[in-house]
């Protein structure tokens, strides 16, 4: 029976293979790895460790090459070792500040365009920014505040503790007890639903029970009619860096590259992709390796993204998209810094 390598040796070998492959894009041979490990590990020892890592699903051998490349499982492990709170390099920090320094003095649309551009520049991949209307987000919690003179402040919390506020004017006064009952009803029945879905279902319920309006239903009807769940604007999409994909080994087939770019230029595809990949969990920064949907080429891609609230009740999703062979350490730290700047200067 073959003796298994120590965890430290396996980890060191795996990280060496990943870093080498990210740098070169070529399958990595044991002799190459042996040059980057501590003395005492021969190419034969490294080869045995690489075989074990292949059995565990971390490496694979393309075609008849003597070298191996990381799998999605390997990249996910690599990402888990990165501290996203570490600052970016000095050069990346200066690049980011040259685009986003003083963002609080710029029009929101200018900030979004600059954010997309700098995401592309620091990653060498696609930068994507999607500004979604409020109705595109999911309901975590909703609360109503009576501001007087028939004005109601709608406070909506979406996943990730993003807070959206909207002031509406109702036709008749609504008692505080009825506002509380309305929020309890919505939170109890529609937690996790998209706001447009809630509006559709609520309108159907109100239509069915219109002959038996009580205080709760009357309050809900007023709030709904006055747009408590209405979207504020259509989705606005920014995309930068498509030229960065040209010449990548992963996209050597021109037909595949054209198909990918056409798909990503469709608004619905981008919104669906970001929604699918960033809807789960409350972590600010999310990394997804192996993307769903069409084209099938996306299964070999990775997305680094986050969602945050935006002025006027909008929800911002920003992301870096590219082949799974990505400089995750640099990109994740730069992304975290960009996100921090936007939180400080815009919200």
Do residues 116 and 240 touch, judged by C-beta distance below 8 A?
yes
Q: How many CA atoms lie within 13 A of 242 on its CB side?
A: 11
Name the region of 63 (left: φ>0; alpha: ψ -120 to 50; beta: rest): left
**Tens-level pLDDT at each residue, the chain (347 residues):** 455 667 788 898 999 999 999 998 889 998 888 876 665 678 888 889 999 999 999 999 887 667 899 999 999 999 999 988 899 999 999 999 999 988 888 888 888 999 999 999 999 999 999 887 665 667 788 888 888 888 888 888 876 566 777 788 888 888 888 888 888 988 888 888 877 778 788 878 777 765 445 667 777 777 777 666 665 556 788 999 988 888 787 777 788 888 888 887 777 778 778 877 775 444 578 899 998 877 778 888 999 998 877 765 567 889 999 999 999 999 999 999 998 888 887 65
Residue with tokens 């021969």: 42
Six-digit token string for 173? 């006064």
Quote the crossing angle between the two packed helices 195-208 and 176-190, to the nearest 10°. 110
* Residue 304 CA: distances (Å) to CA of 10, 165, 261, 294: 26, 27, 18, 18
Give the model's pLDDT for residue 1.
43
* Residue 109 CA: distances (Å) to CA of 103, 153, 240, 266: 11, 25, 15, 20
* Greatest C-alpha distance within the chain: 84
Do residues 96 and 337 touch, judged by C-beta distance below 8 A?
yes
> Does the pTM of the predicted model rise above 0.75?
no
DSSP three-state, residue 170:
coil
Can you state the percent helix, strand and coil of the chain, rounding each to 5? 50, 20, 30
Residue with tokens 């769940």: 229
Residue with tokens 């807070």: 163
């Amino acid at each position: 029976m073959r003796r298994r390598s120590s965890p430290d040796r396996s980890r060191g070998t795996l990280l060496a293979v990943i870093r080498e492959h990210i740098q070169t894009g070529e399958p990595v041979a044991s002799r190459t790895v042996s040059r980057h490990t501590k003395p005492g590990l021969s190419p034969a020892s490294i080869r045995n460790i690489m075989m074990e890592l292949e059995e565990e699903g971390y490496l694979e051998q393309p075609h008849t090459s003597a070298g191996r490349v990381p799998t999605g499982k390997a990249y996910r492990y690599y990402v888990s070792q990165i501290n996203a709170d570490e600052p970016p390099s000095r050069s990346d920090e200066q690049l980011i500040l040259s685009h986003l320094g003083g963002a609080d003095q710029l029009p929101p649309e200018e900030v979004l365009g600059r954010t997309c551009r700098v995401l592309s520049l620091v990653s060498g991949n696609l930068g994507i920014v999607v500004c979604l209307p409020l109705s595109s987000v999911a309901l975590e919690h909703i609360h109503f505040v009576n501001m007087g003179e028939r004005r109601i402040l709608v406070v909506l919390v979406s996943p990730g503790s993003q807070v959206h506020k909207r002031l509406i004017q109702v036709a008749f006064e609504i008692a505080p007890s009825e506002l509380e009952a309305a929020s309890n009803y919505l939170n109890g029945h529609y937690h996790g639903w998209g706001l447009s879905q809630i509006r559709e279902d609520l309108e159907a319920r109100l239509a069915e029970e219109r002959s038996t309006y009580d205080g709760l239903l009357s309050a809900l009807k007023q709030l709904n009619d006055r747009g408590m769940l209405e979207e504020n604007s259509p989705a606005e999409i920014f995309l930068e860096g498509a030229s960065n994909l040209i010449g990548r080994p992963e996209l050597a087939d021109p037909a595949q590259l054209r198909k990918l770019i056409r798909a990503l230029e469709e608004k619905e595809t981008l919104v669906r992709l970001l929604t699918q990949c960033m809807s789960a969990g409350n972590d600010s920064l999310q990394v997804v390796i192996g993307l769903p949907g069409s084209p099938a080429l996306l299964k070999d891609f990775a997305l680094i993204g986050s969602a945050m609230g935006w002025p006027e009740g909008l929800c911002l999703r920003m992301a870096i998209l590219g082949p799974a062979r990505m400089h995750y350490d640099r990109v994740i730290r730069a992304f975290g810094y960009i996100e921090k700047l936007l939180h400080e200067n815009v919200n």
